[in-house]
Amino acid sequence: MKIKFTKMQAFGNDYVYISTLDQKLENLNELAKFVSDHHFGIGSDGMVLICPSEVADFRMRIFNPDGTEAEMCGNAIRSVGKYVYDHHLTTKEDLTIETLGGIQQLHLFIENGIAVNIRADIGMPRMDATIVPVNTDLPEFFNQPVHILDRDFLITALSWGNPHIATFVDHVDDFDVHCYGDALEHHTSLFPNKTNVTFVEFVDKDNLKIREWERGTGETIGCGTGCCTAAVTAIRLGLCNRKITVMQIGGPLIVEWDEQTGHVFMTGPSHTVFESEIDPDYRRL
């Protein structure tokens, strides 16, 4: 039996999704590398497995292109909701998804039997430096001055299970994301486990613009959690309203920080790129 997969995209994040509800997979790290090395995985951010869960409707496991397992990704979570609904694995419009970063809440917007938009509650951002993998004695890593290469940055570290930092720059379009993103990611004196880096441009109180450097991958055209990191940082600095639009290369994402609960919601569509199969003897190909 061949391994069926679906390639899905949510504002730039482009993952290969595989359901394990009716099949058992082995050598997951090798499979993830195979997915990212072949034609259907070029430009992919990795592989997502949809698994059974004892504590939620479904469990999500996510693997980077190098085969290592990751904690979570906001855009990947939203596409999981579309996958399970569109493939008739559930009829629920409100779902819970188990990730290494915690239980995530989804609400699906349905038109003609298809999930056309997804709102994800990725919970409360954690800033405690004992939780976010940063090497500092500070109780919080907020607007911390850091000198990288020839520049000074004020960076804020957040986590929902996967570490992100945000820093403001004047203009993201002409900013050298590769140079400074790579340097920040590998600044192991600050981030022992490496980090995702969100470069943020303030547009106005309702709009931000970002470019995202993803650890282990390089610049990506979309990142849901990076959008949320930018929004939370801007709101805490008093720059933006609590519901804003974050523009990234892959398109805009609506981000809202609930003042009462502290949770962050993001809303945006996801779509299927194509579906196919992987030969189970892929390691011999």
Longest dimension (CA), the chain: 56
For residue 36, give the 3-state DSSP assignment.
helix
How many other C-beta atoms are found inside a 10 Å radius of the C-beta of residue 31? Answer: 23
Q: How far apart are CA 170 and CA 173, in angstroms?
A: 9
Catalytic-role residue among 223, 227, 228, 240: 223
CB 254 within 8 A of CB 224: no
Annotation says 73 is catalytic: yes
Q: Phi, psi (5° rounding) for residue 234?
A: -65, -40
Is 228 assigned a catalytic role? Answer: no
User: 25 is written with which tokens?
Assistant: 């997979």
**88 burial via Cβ count (<10 Å: 0-12, 13-18, 19+):** exposed
Give the phi and the psi of residue 192 in degrees, each rounded to 5.
-55, -30
Euclidean distance between CA atoms 245 and 207, whole angstroms: 5
Q: How far does CA 71 lie from the centroid of its chain?
A: 9
Catalytic residue (one of 73, 227, 228, 240)? 73
Residues noted as catalytic: 73, 223
